[in-house]
Amino acid sequence: MVNVCFVVPSSAAKAYQDLANTYSAIEMPTWAALLAQAVRAKGHDPVILDFDAVPMSDELAAEEIAKTKPKLVVFVLYGQNPNSGTTMMIGASTLAKQLRLSHPNLKIAFIGSHPSSLPHEVIQYSYVDFAFINEGVYALIDLLQTNLEDELDKVPGIWYKKGGLPRPSAPGRIVKTADMDTMMPGYAWDLLPKDNYLLDKYRAHFWHSNFSHDNRTPFAAVYTSLGCSFSCNFCMINVVNRTSHDEDTVSSDSKGMRFWSPELMLKQFEYLWESGVRTIRITDEMFFLNRKYYQPILQGLIDRGMKFNFWAYARIDSVRKDQLQLFKEAGVNWLCLGIEAGNQNVRLEIDKGKFEDVDIRQVVADVKAADINILGNYMFGFPDDTYETMQETFDLAKELNCEHANFYAAMALPGSPLHLFARKEGWDMPQKFEEYAFLSYDCKPLRTKTLTGAEVLKFRDDKWHEYFSNPTYLNLVESKFGSQSRLNLEDMAKIKLKRKLLGD
């Protein structure tokens, strides 16, 4: 008897348009594997169905779910990026509707960043029976002990329906650092789909393999910690820490980090190494922050001779020059830096003002000197942005000339302080899940105080093509990764996204 079926819906076609065919990653469902292992450790019998890795029609997917005869179907809507939970609602909503239509007696739960951000809205969908307000480990284990009908008010951390009306239970609980290893003891790697070997259904980001299509699979993504110590107003990563049912709770109300032990993490890496995995994303929002946790992990990897190709995240003001060689020796070949904006006043507005004490150019130079490639993240369209300040951001990106760059149009993501601000200001907000996806046809970014969302989006798209056709940048790629990588990158840059907002 399968107690719980974890479902990963597919939204790739609508979220990434033509980039989904070759260039976008096929991410490992990290949270589904974490939750499956957590309930299995408590004696339950989980299964994972990943329709992102094994795509099929909603009708066929619903039948595959029903075949597992689950007590509970859990749609896992935590993505690797902060916005992905809302983007995943594209596929989740259509598949859950189909499942409710074809198998109306199955109980359906939504767990993830979007349900945690807006549980009072999600529980009102006809196809949702339960919505969780944080990572859901305690709540899910408690819920599986019930008959899914009675005494639901005694399961902390959920919304449910009673008499057809939405009801919140008691405030939720999150797993503290002291209990991480026992309550969330690793990943259910064996439950993930594969063709011939572990994680061969998953594909790394194009740039992570140095713009080569070789060695993008097998690919894994792992957390060594959850949450973030900071409170950038465009980010909703900390809804994973949420315990309140208050609909105005935002990510910054729940900031903080929780860690697995280095010993448990090294066991996970050993398993992946022995299974042939070499390319790994460290998904922690702030891996380069707490030396107490990252140093033993990195040194342990070195001592074991496990030379993965990692990428990890850091804030500009968390990078320590004296630690960069350790990162490189441990296999961190790519470091993602959240630079975000080129204008100091805009950075202050989004709570990255601490950067005023940090020389961004020097940090980038230090990372490059350690032979670590940089993925620079930039955003256009914060509330105080103008054409001039957005141009400052783009000029900085060109000057830094990192090995890769992400350009985003600012989005008022559910759960973020920016979402609450835009809502209170009465600004026009996305009405469909597709409108929250950065690369979708329906993308509808936030307006600024002086620019429309369409103007921001056009600026972003134009500058993306300008950056990736810039000879200085392309020469860098060729000199570091070879002529074929440059050709591959030029082929990607030929793809023009269609945008409804721009009249396509």
Q: Are residues 15 and 164 in the same domain?
A: yes
Q: Are residues 284 and 372 in the same domain?
A: yes
Q: What is the pLDDT of residue 62?
A: 98
Contact 186, 265 (CB under 8 A): no
Cβ-Cβ contacts under 8 Å for 445 (sequence gap 6 or more): 381, 409, 410, 411, 453, 456, 457, 460
Going across the sheet that includes 46-50, the strands are 46-50, 4-8, 72-77, 108-112, 130-132, 158-162, 165-168
Q: Does 237 fall in a domain?
A: yes
Q: Please give the share of the chain, as a percent, with pLDDT higher than 90.
A: 77
Q: Are residues 82 and 213 in the same domain?
A: no
Chain segment 40-75, per-residue pLDDT in tens: 999 999 999 999 999 999 999 999 999 999 999 999
- Residue 349 pLDDT level (bands cut at 50, 70, 90): low
Q: Are residues 168 and 206 in the same domain?
A: no
244-248, 306-310, 488-492: least confident range = 244-248
Chain segment 325-339, per-residue pLDDT in tens: 999 999 999 999 988
Q: Are residues 255 and 196 in the same domain?
A: yes
pLDDT beyond 90 at 22: no
Burial class (CB in 10 A: 0-12, 13-18, 19+), 261: middle
Chain segment 192-241, per-residue pLDDT in tens: 999 999 999 999 999 999 999 988 999 999 999 998 887 778 878 888 88
| Separation between Cα atoms, residue 105 and residue 262, nearest integer Å | 43
Residue range(s) defining the domain that contains residue 13? 4-177
Contact 312, 373 (CB under 8 A): no
pLDDT beyond 60 at 350: no
- Residue 353 pLDDT level (bands cut at 50, 70, 90): very low
Q: Are residues 138 and 284 in the same domain?
A: no
| Separation between Cα atoms, residue 330 and residue 282, nearest integer Å | 12
Q: DSSP assignment of 16-27, as one string?
A: HTTHHHHTS-B-
| Separation between Cα atoms, residue 200 and residue 192, nearest integer Å | 10
pLDDT beyond 50 at 252: yes
Task: Please give the span between the terminal C-alpha atoms of the chain, in angstroms, as a whole number.
Answer: 50
Q: What is the pLDDT of residue 65?
A: 98
| Separation between Cα atoms, residue 214 and residue 210, nearest integer Å | 9
Q: Does 36 fall in a domain?
A: yes
DSSP assignment letter at 253: G
pLDDT beyond 70 at 356: no
Q: Mean pLDDT across the chain, nearest whole number? A: 92
Q: What is the pLDDT of residue 306?
A: 97
Chain segment 395-413, per-residue pLDDT in tens: 999 999 999 999 999 998 8
Q: Which amino acid is at 10?
A: S
Q: Does 485 fall in a domain?
A: no
Q: What is the pLDDT of residue 1?
A: 65
Domain's final residue, options 380, 404, 426? 426
Kind of pairing between the strands at 158-162 and 165-168: antiparallel
Domain's final residue, options 426, 441, 460? 426
Q: How many CB atoms lie within 10 A of CB 469?
A: 13
Q: For residues 428-440, give the mean pLDDT.
A: 92
Which CATH number covers residue 112? 3.40.50
Q: DSSP assignment of 273-338, as one string?
A: HHTT--EEEE--TTSSS-HHHHHHHHHHHHHTT---EEEEEE-GGG--GGGHHHHHHTTEEEEEEE
Q: Are residues 143 and 192 in the same domain?
A: no
Q: What is the pLDDT of residue 240?
A: 82
Cβ-Cβ contacts under 8 Å for 171 (sequence gap 6 or more): 156, 157, 243, 244, 245
Domain's final residue, options 426, 460, 488? 426
Q: Are residues 241 and 254 in the same domain?
A: yes
Burial class (CB in 10 A: 0-12, 13-18, 19+), 14: buried
Helix, strand, coil percent values for the chain (each to nearest 5):
45, 15, 40
Chain segment 265-300, per-residue pLDDT in tens: 999 999 999 999 999 999 998 899 999 999 999 999
What is the number of domains present in the chain?
A: 2
Which CATH number covers residue 413? 3.20.20.70
Q: Are residues 252 and 401 in the same domain?
A: yes
